[in-house]
Amino acid sequence: MSATHTLVIDRLGHRGEGVALVEGKPIFVPATLPGETVAVTIEGNRGTLLDILAPSPNRSAAPCPHFPACGGCQLQHLSAETYSQFKRSLVVDALSRAGVAADVNDPIIAYGAGRRRATFHATRSAAGFMALRSHQIHDLDRCPILVPALAQAPRIARDFASAVGPCDVAFTASDMGLDVAVRAKGTKANPKLTDLARAFDLARLSLNGEPLIIHRQPTVTMGRAQVPLPVGSFLQATEAAEAALAELVVKAVAGARQVADLFCGVGPFALRLAERAAVLAADSDSPAVAALDAAKRKAKGLKPIAAEKRDLFREPLGPFELNHFDAVVLDPPRAGAQAQIAELAKSKVKTIAYVSCDPQSFARDAATLVAAGYVIGPVRPLDQFAFSSHTEVFARFERP
């Protein structure tokens, strides 16, 4: 049996775990707070919480009975103020390490009605997220951070696992109902799947990336457009976050007549920007670009959108192309936009609106732009992943 250790938590790590120092080395203890005295067992650099001997005044009661056993959330035990400070600190620390001086605002809270997307691991007997520090599924009856339309998601996932065996079930709440995508190794279509799709009135059911049955084409509203969702399409986790980020982007490039929307996805920014400016929208995701193109063809009152498939990691727009635009919008994946940023640094583009899902890569790219003469405006963290250690970042860069 492992020995019990008494530790004092020093700080929160960037994944939201409490960090204590033992003989100068960090020990990471989930569900703890700075200043708390805790009893733990230790294995390697990981501590398992046994008891809180002296709780922090900043501790709050978790709103979900599955916390902290369920690994889907990391921060339900923080008070609202401590939580906000932690989210802001993720951005402040990343910029500091990159040598970028900038004002960082308090986070914009963008939970809205909850997350409209979720992926559950499922077996015949369990459906949910992986348990904390485990490869075992923590079975859920409900998940309070999801939109009401996903209330039955755990049950649906278990029923699909009963039909195909262990699987991952991805849910998206669309305007037309639930879009469900099942991934299961070695599984082929069978009548049980289509029966379940009808029983739960799914808008669409896909199996291993291919549509199996479509009762109603899943769509989402973006500005004046209805976008047909490709299978597995990326969307901001909450509708409120998409709207808030779009508002920041549109405001940042106000007055621009020619805008490039790079890493455009299905068009959450391009379709709104086109209400005022001509837009080049580029992304390497062919189905996403096709969906954007289909949406803009049916939407009314938009200026031209040129939707282009382009790998911006291998083939970024160069200065000659970039200099045709008054403003550039970037919303890259977690790795950031290093290659494209290097070309922007050599360009004459006046305004850059940068949306990021990773403070580290954002800070790296921001340092490149600042070194090239761009001035960074106030940085806006945005929190759409309630109780997690993830945060979005927005900033406007201006070339004097």
Taking the CA atoms of the chain, what radius of gyration do you get in angstroms?
A: 23
Sequence letter at residue 20 = A
Cα angle 203-208-213, degrees, rounded to a multiple of 5 = 30
Mean pLDDT of 49-69: 95
The Cα 130–Cα 179 span in angstroms is 22
Give the pLDDT confidence score for residue 201 in this predicted structure: 97
The Cα 325–Cα 68 span in angstroms is 48
Tell me: do 197 and 269 sit in the same domain. no
- Secondary structure (H, E, C), 1-33: CCCEEEEECCEECCCCCEEEEECCEEEEECCCC
CB 295 within 8 A of CB 264: no
Residue 29 belongs to some domain of the structure: yes
CATH number, position 43: 2.40.50.140
Lowest mean pLDDT among 65-69, 221-225, 270-274, 304-308: 65-69
The Cα 200–Cα 197 span in angstroms is 5
Give me the number of domains the chain comprises: 3
Give the pLDDT confidence score for residue 186 in this predicted structure: 81
Residue 214 belongs to some domain of the structure: yes
Tell me: do 211 and 270 sit in the same domain. no
The Cα 368–Cα 396 span in angstroms is 14
Contacts of 265 (CB under 8 A, 6+ apart): 233, 234, 235, 283, 285, 288, 292, 331
**More confident call, 173 vs 233:** 173
DSSP H or E stretch at residue 366: helix 359-371
Residue 66 belongs to some domain of the structure: no
Residue 18 belongs to some domain of the structure: yes
CB 163 within 8 A of CB 127: no
Give the pLDDT confidence score for residue 188 in this predicted structure: 80
CB 268 within 8 A of CB 246: yes
CB 78 within 8 A of CB 57: no
Among 195, 219, 243, which residue terminates a domain? 219
308 pLDDT more than 90? yes
User: Which range marks the domain in which residue 19 is found?
Assistant: 4-59
Q: What is the mean pLDDT of the chain?
A: 96
Among 187, 219, 251, which residue terminates a domain? 219
Give the pLDDT confidence score for residue 2 in this predicted structure: 74
Tell me: do 251 and 272 sit in the same domain. yes
- In the 8-state DSSP scheme, what is residue 252? H
Residue 23 belongs to some domain of the structure: yes
133 pLDDT more than 60? yes
* Residues annotated as part of the active site: 357
Residue 135 belongs to some domain of the structure: yes
Tell me: do 53 and 90 sit in the same domain. no
CB 241 within 8 A of CB 384: yes
| pLDDT classification of 190: cutoffs 50, 70, 90 | confident
Give the pLDDT confidence score for residue 111 in this predicted structure: 96
| pLDDT classification of 134: cutoffs 50, 70, 90 | confident
Tell me: do 180 and 244 sit in the same domain. no
The Cα 268–Cα 249 span in angstroms is 10
CATH number, position 267: 3.40.50.150
CATH number, position 201: 2.40.50.1070
189 pLDDT more than 90? no
Give the pLDDT confidence score for residue 187 in this predicted structure: 78
Interstrand relation of 18-22 and 25-29 (parallel, antiparallel or unpaired): antiparallel
CA distances in angstroms from 75 to 18, 109, 129, listed in the order given: 11, 15, 15
Tell me: do 171 and 256 sit in the same domain. no
Give the pLDDT confidence score for residue 1 in this predicted structure: 54
Residue 129 belongs to some domain of the structure: yes
| pLDDT classification of 202: cutoffs 50, 70, 90 | very high
43 pLDDT more than 80? yes
Q: Cα 1 from chain centroid?
A: 40
Tell me: do 135 and 186 sit in the same domain. yes
298 pLDDT more than 90? yes
Cα angle 207-211-213, degrees, rounded to a multiple of 5 = 100
Tell me: do 306 and 373 sit in the same domain. yes
In this structure, the chain runs to a length of 400
Tell me: do 177 and 311 sit in the same domain. no
Tell me: do 213 and 242 sit in the same domain. no
Mean pLDDT of 373-378: 98
The Cα 288–Cα 342 span in angstroms is 25
Tell me: do 89 and 145 sit in the same domain. no
Q: Is 380 helix (H, G, I), strand (E, B) or coil?
A: strand
Please report, rounded to a whole number, the percentage of residues in the chain having pLDDT higher than 90. 95
| pLDDT classification of 127: cutoffs 50, 70, 90 | very high
Residue 349 belongs to some domain of the structure: yes
- State yes or no: cis peptide before 68, omega within 30 of 0: yes
Tell me: do 327 and 185 sit in the same domain. no
